[in-house]
Structure 1
Amino acid sequence: MIEQSVMDLWHGFGVAFEWHNLIWSFFGVLVGNLIGVLPGMGALSAISMLLPLTYVMSPVSAILMLSGIFYGSQYGGAIGAILLNLPCHPPHAVTCLDGYPLTKKGRGGTALGITMISSFFAASFGILVMIFASPVLVKIAFKFGPAELFAIMLVGLIAGGTMSRGAPLKGVAMTVLGLIFGLVGTDVNSGVQRFTFGLPDLADNIELVALALGLFGVAEFMLNVNKMDAVGSNMEVSMKEMRPTRAELKQAFWPMVRGTLVGTVFGAMPGTGPTITTFLSYVLEKKISKNPESFGHGNIAGVASPEASSHSKTQVDFIPTMSLGIPGDAVMALILGALLIQGIQPGPQLITEHPDLFWGLIASFWIGNVLLILLNVPMIGVWVKLLRVPYKYLFPLAMFFICVGVYTTHNSLFQVGEVAVFGIMGAILIALKFPVSPILLGYVLGPMIEENFRRAMLISDGSLSIFVATPISAVFMAISALLIVLQLYFWARGKIRNRQSAAAAA
């Protein structure tokens, strides 16, 4: 199997080095790097804005570009966190704790250098895991029937809803809202229109591009437009300062390894975003450190470990998405939606049915990570200067591209109106502390869950026992039940503790 994987990877490099695929991969990591540096924007916003472009691209080029944006933004986000104590994106909030104190000590360049080394090491390990773990699923591909696929997707749906940030009940509510959005349109089996309210434009379902641009593009800009101003800085970082010493590399090595392993373990778990992973790796390092009091005051381990965990998880996230059709987070759900737009069904048979896409994607990860290092080292001064751009100039420019992008997908002003509605809705939900990521998860997984459920019921003549008839489906149904029971237990325990605290205070 190892020999076959190596041969497939060699084929993937041939696909990734095709000039048009290489150009789009470079474009993706460049845009992702830029988006990562800019405050208030992220991979979700960038992918949402560029999703309309994929309609006129080949499937391989489209996925390579979107993936490049995803892991490219992880690199860029560390720059603002380390140099300016500006956590542009949640996963890098942990990096600020020790990255910015290192900058104040005059070692910001060293922190950036350690970050790039940790990121490349962790990404490479994650890619190796993807190479040798994903083909194993091909061996059992034909054991996945409608019941098994339903059970697996149900786990992803419940995990994504209950493990999102904030109250679990709010996450479940947003997941259900996403399921309802996914049901809008014409039923493929009966031909009956559902939840269209007599609007012909909704007969072909709610457009994924409009939903994503509204929730993750317009909503984020609306909430940040009055909060983000120009960030002044006279920070200058030279290439020489970014080269860590041998002692610093030795100090960062084992934290980097442990962070990589934490990110890899959590990478295949649906619903665990990179923010959770970075916090866990940071806490782990602080627990096992001989000098825990040094954390928060410029400890290199506090930079190396969370950054490594973030990047290894970013790569391993693609395993459940591509091989099982289960997105681990909102970004993966968006990439899953891009595959569906291209007419490609993610799942266990994707590796054999679309080898160019799968192995070309894996090869592009290594190419993209090398490009990111080549980009970040000489252009660090440029990225710092971009942090001074006033948000009032970025906002109207982004709105313009969003409107043009969504209109050009189907030349429909109705979809521009959809973006506005979802943007206002998203801004209200975020202001009320509702997580919006589960909406996208429910929207993408909902129709596939419904389809496999109906197929399974047809096969079993309406008997629900089909979902526990095979070991695979039974195990995943049990996991779904366990997730629900655990959330009820945590909720009940929290209630009891609150009552005891209130009684003690009285």
Structure 2
Amino acid sequence: MELLLNNLAIGFDTAFTATNLMYCLIGCLLGTLIGVLPGIGPIATISMLLPATYVLPPVSALIMLSGIYYGAQYGGSTTAILVNLPGEASSVVTMLDGHQMARRGKAGAALAVSAIGSFIAGCFGVLILAAFAAPLAEMALVFGPSEYFSLMVLGLVGAVVLASGSLLKAMCMIVLGLLLGMVGTDINSGIARFSFDIPELSDGIGFVGIAMALFAFVEIIVNVDLKDKREVFTSKVGGLMLSWSEFKDALPAILRGTGLGSALGILPGGGALLASFASYTMEKKLTRNPAVPFGEGNIRGVAGPESANNAGAQTSFIPLLTLGIPPNAVMALMVGAMMVHNIQPGPQVMTSNPTLFWGLIVSMWLGNAMLVVLNLPLVGIWVQLLKVPYRLLYPAILMFCCIGVYSVNNNSFDVLITVMFGVLGVAFVRFGCEAAPLLLGFILGPMMEENLRRSLMLSQGDFTVFLTRPLSLGMLLAAVALVAVIAVPAISKKRQETFVEE
């Protein structure tokens, strides 16, 4: 306990500087903004802002990017409740009861329970992160290359199993990501691989370009095809306080959503999206004979998912900061941001850069407090932002994307690559393929290859090294078990139903 308090003191000392407080506020503001505006998610925004973080101190950059991620979970609920459009994917289930509450004149109560649940869950998620980060990091230090390789295999399999959509398509996207990660000069031999004699590809495909193309470009292009069906909420939002009876009704759902989201956020492929869907399903199963049916304005249908998605957003940082393994696409972008600043993700971050590690954790507490202030009193401003015409918004975003990609290496070839992957990303959408598994494969591919080679060099080419080490064997068996379980027809059907809006 004393060690934890000392570490938190380091974090408060780092996070409470004027610079870091400013970037925490900027991240929360941007996160709320992109959460409110449908069609622009945290992945797209973080992708666009990666080049801008080059000039920032590493701690400030990560604090800002983190604020964007968990801030989007708050902002997404505002649009879902008032306009019946999910500003963020994890807010899809919030629409079901949140908008019905708004139509019955309880928009203020819906926004209040969303903010209160998000704040409680966010703070608890950060507490879990602070409490378990150090023990997990110490355990990770005993990992060898064999264990890391097996852990990454388990992570990728978990990302496939827990992702929505077709298992086969998700596996194909991960394999494609792994192959794209091999483009460039081989570190061991110095021979260029898959570069097709193009000098710009000798250093590999730029991470920023792929992320921006598959998320920012594709989100905009796809949304241009959609008709703008926003009906801006014109009624006055009042009563931004819960009555005692409403709070008592919502509290069990908040606590259950917090616990469920905290657990699912740690899992590969989990995070906020899976947590919100699972929480809504759980609340419907556990609430017997509700006074207001689910789907018609039940307050637990807002409290549970909103708490779950915020808890999941916070705890998804645990595998990233302790093991160096990104559990979802947003965390993969955070890995990219850390590498931009020459920080190797993994357990050594805690010992080699404690100010960054603990400063980031403490900033999340501060950010959650900032978001409550930003989301309730300023809700009128966020609603007014929905009046911005997309025909003006989208071209401006595309322009900033191109400027950002070009500024990384001052090379127009990077912009061309981004445009090409943008076209490819639109094709993925048309065929129902998710881009997130590809990004995970692209990030983990070089790390998997390096650990595979190191393992085989240490074992003199003996592949059984992955089976003779207990930890490695356990993780590979867990990966096989996940694949076997999901192959059961009943479980596969249940998995598909979880992601269906009822």
TM-score (norm 1): 0.94
Kindly indicate whether residue 375 of structure 2 is the aligned counterpart of residue 376 of structure 1.
yes
What letter corresponds to residue 62 of structure 1 in structure 2? Answer: A
Q: Which residue of 1 aligns with 2:387?
A: 388
Find the aligned partners of 1:337 and 1:489 in 2 and give their Cα distance.
36
SS at structure 2 position matched to 1:225: helix
Q: Letter of the aligned partner of 1:189 in structure 2?
A: N
The alignment partner of 1:205 has SS state of coil
1:121–1:308: 8 Å Cα contact kept in structure 2?
yes
Q: What residue is the counterpart of 1:504 in the other structure?
A: none
Partners of 2:210 and 2:478 lie apart in 1 by 30
1:74 corresponding residue in structure 2: 73
Residues 147, 237 of structure 1: alpha-carbon distance in 2 compared, 3 angstrom cutoff: farther
8 A contact 1:108–1:237 mirrored in 2: no
Q: What is the rounded CA distance, in whole Å, between the counterparts of 2:471 and 2:489 in structure 1?
A: 27
Name the structure 1 match of 2:130. Answer: 131
- Matched AA of 1:382: I
Of residues 226, 245, 255, the one that matches 2:243 is 245
Where does residue 451 of structure 2 map in the other structure?
Answer: 452
Give yes or no for contact 1:83–1:235 (8 Å, CA) kept in 2. no
Amino acid at match of 1:193: A
Measure how far apart 1:298 and its partner are: 0.9
Distance 1:229 1:205, change over 3 A: same
What letter matches 1:338 in structure 2?
A: A
Deviations 1:300-329 (A, max 9, x none): 111000000000000000001111112111
1:271 correspondence with 2:244: no
Q: Aligned partner of 1:166: which letter?
A: G
Give 1:89 deviation, angstroms: 2.4
Q: Distance in 1 between the 2:40 and 2:436 partners?
A: 15
Instruction: Identify the residue that residue 154 of structure 2 maps to in structure 1.
Output: 155
Preserved contact between residue 26 and residue 64 of structure 2 (Cα < 8 Å): yes
How many residues are matched? 492
Aligned to 2:480: 481
The SS at the match of 1:143 is coil
* Structure 2 residue identity aligned to 1:252: A
* Within-5 A mapping of 1:279-428: 279-292=277-290, 294-428=293-427
Determine whether 1:111 maps to 2:107.
no
- C-alpha displacement at 1:190, in angstroms? 0.8
Relative to 1, partners in 2 of residues 1:282 and 1:490: Cα closer, same or farther, differing over 3 Å?
Answer: same
1:125 deviation in Å? Answer: 0.6
Alignment CA distance shift 1:257-1:184 (3 Å): same
Task: Give the Cα–Cα distance (whole angstroms) in 2 for the partners of residues 261 and 63 of structure 1.
Answer: 26
Please say which of residues 193-202 and 339-348 is displaced more in the overlay: 339-348
Aligned to 1:497: none
Taking only the aligned residue pairs, the percentage that are identical comes to 43
Change (3 A) 1:234 1:307: closer
**Could you tell me which residue of structure 2 aligns to residue 262 of structure 1?**
260
Deviations 1:183-222 (A, max 9, x none): 1111111111011111100111111110001000111111
Contact 2:328–2:440 (CA under 8 A) maintained in structure 1: yes
State how far apart, in whole Å, the 2-side matches of 1:483 and 1:209 are: 32
Cα displacement (A) at 1:18:
1.5
Aligned to 1:198: 197
| Per-residue CA distance 1:117-175 (angstroms, 9 max, x = gap) | 00000001101101111111233233111111111111111222343221101000000
Distance across 1 between alignment mates of 2:197 and 2:489: 43
Give 1:9-28 correspondences, 5 Å limit.
9-28=8-27
1:234/1:171 CA distance change after superposition, 3 Å:
closer
CA distance in 2, matches of 1:487, 1:295: 29
Q: CA deviation at 1:378?
A: 2.3
Instruction: Give runs of aligned pairs for residues 429-440 of structure 1, distance below 5 A.
Output: 429-440=428-439
After TM superposition, give the deviation of residue 232 of structure 1 in Å.
Answer: 3.7
Structure 2 gaps of 5+ residues are: 494-502
- Identify the range of structure 1 (221-230 vs 18-27) with the bigger mean alpha-carbon deviation: 221-230
TM-score, normalised relative to structure 2: 0.95
The Cα shift of 1:236 comes to 4.2
> Residue type of the partner of 1:185?
G
> Take 1:419 and 1:315, find their aligned partners in 2: how far apart are those partners?
30
C-alpha separation between the residues in 1 aligned to 2:146 and 2:217?
A: 38
Q: In structure 2, give the amino acid aligned to 1:414.
A: F
Q: Is the 8 A contact 1:161 1:174 kept in 2?
A: no
> What is the SS of the residue equivalent to 1:367?
helix
For the 8 Å contact 2:98–2:110, the answer to whether it is kept is yes
Measure the CA separation in 2 of the matches of 1:156 and 1:237.
46
Aligned to 2:499: none
The one-letter code of the counterpart of 2:239 is E
Structure 1 stretches lacking a partner, 5+ long: 495-506
| Aligned residue runs from structure 1 range 462-477, under 5 A | 462-477=461-476
Aligned-pair CA distance for 1:352: 1.2
Q: CA RMSD in A?
A: 1.6
Instruction: Say whether 1:211 aligns with 2:210.
Output: yes
Q: Counterpart of 1:502?
A: none
**Structure 2 residue matching 1:183: 3-state secondary structure:** coil
Q: Structure 1 residue runs of 4+, over 3 Å off? A: 487-494
